[in-house]
Amino acid sequence: MLVTDYLGQNSIKKIMFVFGTRPEVSKLAPVIFEARKESRLETIIVSTGQHREMLDQMLKVFSITPDIDLSIMEEKQSLSSVTVKIIDRIEPVILSYKPDMVVVQGDTSSAFLASLVSFYNKIPIAHVEAGLRSFDIYNPFPEEANRRFISVVSSLNLAPTKKAKENLLREGVKEESIIVTGNTIVDALYWIAKDISEIDTTKRLILVTAHRRENWGEPMEELALAIKELVMEFPDIAFIVPLHKNPVVREIFGKILSNVDRVELLEPLDYPSLIKVMKSAYLILTDSGGIQEEAPTFGKPVLVLRDTTERPEGIERGVAKLIGMHKENIIESVRELLTNQTLYISMSKAGNPYGDGKAGERTVKAIMHFFGMCERPDEFTS
């Protein structure tokens, strides 16, 4: 038992979930669903509103209504202003509700700052998707620092894979606080994808998503120029590019690709629409962490538009490849998958090393085990 002040198996524990972005909702939804099944757990849902429009789309998909919405989003806000607003607005909520545990996911500012305020108030923190590391403090920025900070103060570290657990152990995190659950995004994907059909098209579709701060500017221009050259070289391909709401991202892609044939620049897709495109794609170019985890479920090769990744399992399994953001490397990597059928089949058949659809159940059992309510759950093995 990890809690020294445990009050008895029949007591109801208040579990506060805090999120602020679309990926956090998709990865916490399976946990929230499982927690609501347990009569000894009371759930409190807090949204920081860090990414307003995309967050609201995802809440609608999963039919989740926050109990509290902090509404911190403003146009062109800095990391410093986000930090001040979240701390200022979440502390009164935590003090008012007095949760027995705060659950956060991943590496956003919302997750980090909710963890910090909880720590200041000596409330246990459960970190879903703990232990991911790129080992470069500025890549991705600021996410790599955020997730390291959260690990320092978390009482329960819910690692998605064995490798994530090993990262935590190397940093001195106590082994008894770590449980390997698998990644909850796979649960969410199974839940939504079963009713979604593929796009009917004669073209080989290539999905492109890019938004990370470290890729703004020249790297993103290199990507756009690579797309322009590839679509001219291969008449049977078409690119689908959902544009992030950030004006920096939209300006770069619009300037280079707005009038290019067979390149669709779209508004951000809701999650079911994104899954539909993912299922229909021939391959995927992305700097997104979530898509690295999702695409293997559909057997889609992933070319990762980064120099490092905190999700090395896909690289090691062979379903993904790190290619960075240099134009010539992007062109060559895509060309190889379009022309080398042996390589394509190898990547598409590699399987998903991140989860089995039962991570939400394991996560809730881990929380209940923390409070002495059940046995420690069996861990995920890929």
Interhelix angle 341-348/327-339, rounded to 10 degrees, is 90
- The whole-number pLDDT of residue 7 equals 47
Closest CA to 242 of 293, 203, 281, 202: 281
* CA 171 – CA 264 distance, rounded (Å): 44
For the segment 102-161, what is each residue's pLDDT rounded down to a tens digit?
999 999 999 999 999 999 999 999 999 999 999 999 988 899 999 999 999 999 999 999
When pLDDT is cut at 50, 70 and 90, the band that residue 290 belongs to is confident
Q: Give percent of the chain with pLDDT exceeding 90.
A: 79
Is 336 a known active-site residue?
no
Torsion region of 63: left, alpha or beta (phi above 0 gives left; psi -120 to 50 gives alpha): left
Closest CA to 135 of 103, 104, 166, 108: 166
Helix H or strand E segment including 271: helix 271-280
Going 345 to 382 to 146 to 187, the CA torsion angle's sign is: positive
Is 213 a known active-site residue?
yes
Q: Which of 129, 222, 294, 313 is catalytic?
A: 129
Encoding tokens for residue 27?
A: 């990865």
Average pLDDT in the 40-47 region?
98
Query: Which residue, chain included where needed, has tokens 């085990």?
Result: 369
* CA 253 – CA 243 distance, rounded (Å): 8
- Top mean-pLDDT range of 68-72, 80-84, 168-172, 285-289: 168-172
Q: Which of 24, 34, 143, 287 is catalytic?
A: 143
Is 75 a known active-site residue?
no
pTM: 0.82
Query: Which residue, chain included where needed, has tokens 């590391």?
Result: 133
- Angle at Cα 157 formed by Cα 155 and Cα 158, nearest 5°? 140
* CA 171 – CA 135 distance, rounded (Å): 12
Residue 4 predicted with pLDDT over 50: no
- In degrees rounded to 5, what are phi and psi of residue 112? -60, -45
Contact (CB, 8 A) for 223 and 256: no
Is 244 a known active-site residue?
yes
Q: Which of 34, 38, 100, 107 is catalytic?
A: 107
Q: Which of 213, 250, 317, 326 is catalytic?
A: 213
For the segment 195-204, what is each residue's pLDDT rounded down to a tens digit?
899 999 999 9
Burial (CB count <10 Å: 0-12, 13-18, 19+), residue 156: buried
Is 143 a known active-site residue?
yes
Ordered by where they begin, the domains of the chain are 13-183+356-370 (3.40.50.2000), 199-348 (3.40.50.2000)
Q: Which of 52, 244, 326, 335 is catalytic?
A: 244
Q: Which of 133, 211, 212, 262 is catalytic?
A: 211
Is 211 a known active-site residue?
yes
Residue 33 contacts by C-beta under 8 Å, 6 or more apart in sequence?
A: 360
